[in-house]
Amino acid sequence: MHHPYSPRRGRYSWANSRKSSFLGKIKEYIAYLKKANKTTLIKNALLACIAIALAGSIFLLGAFAWLSKDLPDPNSLTIREVPQSTKIYDNTGEHLLYEIAGEEKRTLVTLDQIPQYVVWATITAEDRNFYQHGGIDYKGIARAIFVDIITLSRSQGASTITQQLVKNAILSNEKTFTRKFKELLLSFALERRYTKDEIMQLYLNEIPYGSRNYGIEAASRAYYDMTVEDLSLAQSATLAAIPQATTYYLNNPDELEARKNWILGDMAELGYITQAEADTAMLEDTSITAYYSDIEAPHFVLWVKEQLEEKYGQKEVEQGGLTVITTLNFDMQNAAQTAVINNRDARADSYGFDNSGLVAIDPNNGHILAMVGSVDYFNDDIDGQVNVTLQPLQPGSSLKPVIYAAGFEVGYTPNTILWDTKTEFGTATGPYSPNNYDGQEHGPLTVRSALQGSLNIPAVKMLYLVGVQKAADFAARLGYTTLTDPSHYGLSMVLGGAEVKLLEHVSAYGVFATEGVYHEPVSILKVEDANGEALEEWKESDGQSVLDTNITRMISDVLSDNVARTPFFGANNYLTLGSRPVAAKTGTTNDYKDAWTIGYTPQLVTGVWVGNTDGSAMSRGAGGSAIAAPIWN
């Protein structure tokens, strides 16, 4: 008999021998189990469980020790670091747009000086189980983890008031799992060290309320010129509404008002106040104005600040000494602001408008080169702080190129004939019969003439042929986020019945300029911390191909055809740039409430909106070609 390792038997004999030996061991173990009594089996099972638990504990303790090695002391709540200002620059890094001063305004108060309204409103807005939990909202954490896993992101938060105190007073605001773990540990430590009322007092003295106001007393003095003790119920709810997104709410008064009213309504439901008290408080004017000085391109800068706060937290942005390089072109921004102001001075009285907005983008990378959010940021009469470039507005006929492009994708062309005659369309909400802006019918027309003439009846027919849902899906590929409910506006979508944001509208036209490539709008190129370490940096990308090149070329050919436009707008109009080829489209909503012009070259896309802040109608004739196109030109 040969040895299993004998060369004469070879590798396969060795393997077979190993297999037989292994099977033998299994048989022996099975025989052992049959002979073993239950006590022995249970004992072995318990020993195995203990071994596994011990190994797991050692692992967890090791992880705990590693994460805890540099935990700050909760007592650091009373220690203040020297704040450093954050600087926001244009795309060259040479022009300082705004310096977020590092000094903070803070006046400490005790809980007995703070009205119960403030505490109740804060609990309602931020942490309704504050007096019941031990610092952690386990259900909220489970929900956040689930959403983060499903979306493959770390965007969800479930922070209690205790956790927010830790985040704002001790830790940074970065959204990483290790920082979240440290936050949990410190929250437990705070709950053991302080009473609930002490934590609430620390929170109300620490939390940021915007414009460098930290703590409820500083906010009361800055926004209402009174001490916290004199705040009304409505004012308390308004201040409690701010910390969730300070810059956003301070620059969007309608959203702040809505959040205030939501808090008041829920305070009544929770039994803190009566419904009558809530209704009365909702009627009280508690508007807030945030004041900024020495700031260039305020709407753009504060939008950038809002994005930074979302990523890094308000404390880091206002005191962390960041250096921010944006995409803004300083010279183009100044030219845009001058054009908007000159247009107001020349035409506002005649046409009855009070506000305007402008966005300019490099379509080849999505860089926002200019953004004018209102004609005057500091004019409260027109709610100048509101950035109209980010607000949903009815686009009028400026949405027609998107619908016609959707038609081209399914086989229609600029030479397709559409009949411009009175037509009644059957819809889910009843008959729909659009009219042209001139009240006339023009018979058979090519798509080229219909689009350049901005005629309504042919545009509705094209949308009918494409399908409203398909057109909405097509628009989503171009970056629109507001066209999500086709059943709400139906065929009127193509005439401006839906709403779009100027920023997204301009970005979508950028797809035509790049012959089918979409680049998401970009506002920040680079962010460095106080030590010069890069926290984020924009990288060049190829973008996303969303349209066939031939489709975009057909649209650009039509929109740049001034000959086709001449019968409707005349040969000499604001939609041309001399001998330079340019594609452009205007838009005007019913009753002259919104006027638009969007146009592009391969290197630049610019969009303009003109109207009234309160949504009232302008004078008759205040169309896009008359009051928006001059700014664009």
pLDDT digits (tens, 9 = 90+) for 466-483: 999 999 999 999 999 999
The DSSP code sequence of 415-473 is T-EEEES---EEETTEEE----TTS---EEEEHHHHHHTT-HHHHHHHHHHH-HHHHHH
CA–CA dist 475, 483 (Å, integer): 7
Q: Which amino acid makes up residue 631?
A: I
Measured CA to CA in angstroms, residue 540 lies from 126, 186, 364, 515, 543 at distances of 39, 40, 10, 18, 9
Residue 68 pLDDT level (bands cut at 50, 70, 90): very low
pLDDT at 555 over 90: yes
Identified catalytic residue from 159, 220, 397, 454: 397
Q: 6 catalytic, yes or no?
A: no
Measured CA to CA in angstroms, residue 446 lies from 180, 184, 415, 457 at distances of 61, 66, 5, 13
Residue 3 pLDDT level (bands cut at 50, 70, 90): very low
Q: Residue 353: phi, psi to the nearest 5?
A: -125, 160
pLDDT at 354 over 70: yes
Interval 389-414 mean pLDDT: 95
CA–CA dist 518, 544 (Å, integer): 5
Contact 627, 610 (CB under 8 A): yes
**Structure-token match 């506006």, residue found:** 489
pLDDT in tens, 162-201: 888 887 777 655 555 566 677 777 777 778 888 889 889 9
CA–CA dist 506, 608 (Å, integer): 9
Looking at residue 30, its pLDDT comes to 61
Helix (H) / strand (E) element for 588: namely strand 583-588
Looking at residue 579, its pLDDT comes to 78
Q: 397 catalytic, yes or no?
A: yes
Looking at residue 329, its pLDDT comes to 97
Looking at residue 293, its pLDDT comes to 74
Looking at residue 388, its pLDDT comes to 96
Q: Which residue has the higher pLDDT, 177 or 407?
A: 407
pLDDT in tens, 411-465: 999 999 999 999 988 877 788 888 888 888 999 999 999 998 889 999 999 999 9
The predicted model scores a pTM of 0.76
Average pLDDT, the chain: 85
Among 112-116, 316-320, 341-345, 361-365, the least confident range: 316-320
Looking at residue 133, its pLDDT comes to 82
Looking at residue 74, its pLDDT comes to 47
Percent of the chain's residues with pLDDT above 90: 54
CA–CA dist 308, 87 (Å, integer): 12
Contact 235, 286 (CB under 8 A): yes
Nearby residues of 244 by Cβ (< 8 Å), 6 or more positions away = 125, 126, 259
Looking at residue 6, its pLDDT comes to 38
Looking at residue 158, its pLDDT comes to 62
Looking at residue 193, its pLDDT comes to 81
pLDDT at 27 over 80: no
Looking at residue 464, its pLDDT comes to 93
pLDDT in tens, 507-528: 999 999 999 999 999 999 999 9
pLDDT in tens, 257-283: 999 999 999 999 999 999 999 999 999
Percent of the chain's residues with pLDDT above 70: 83
Contact 526, 538 (CB under 8 A): yes
Looking at residue 155, its pLDDT comes to 43
Looking at residue 171, its pLDDT comes to 65
Interval 145-158 mean pLDDT: 55
Residue 22 pLDDT level (bands cut at 50, 70, 90): low
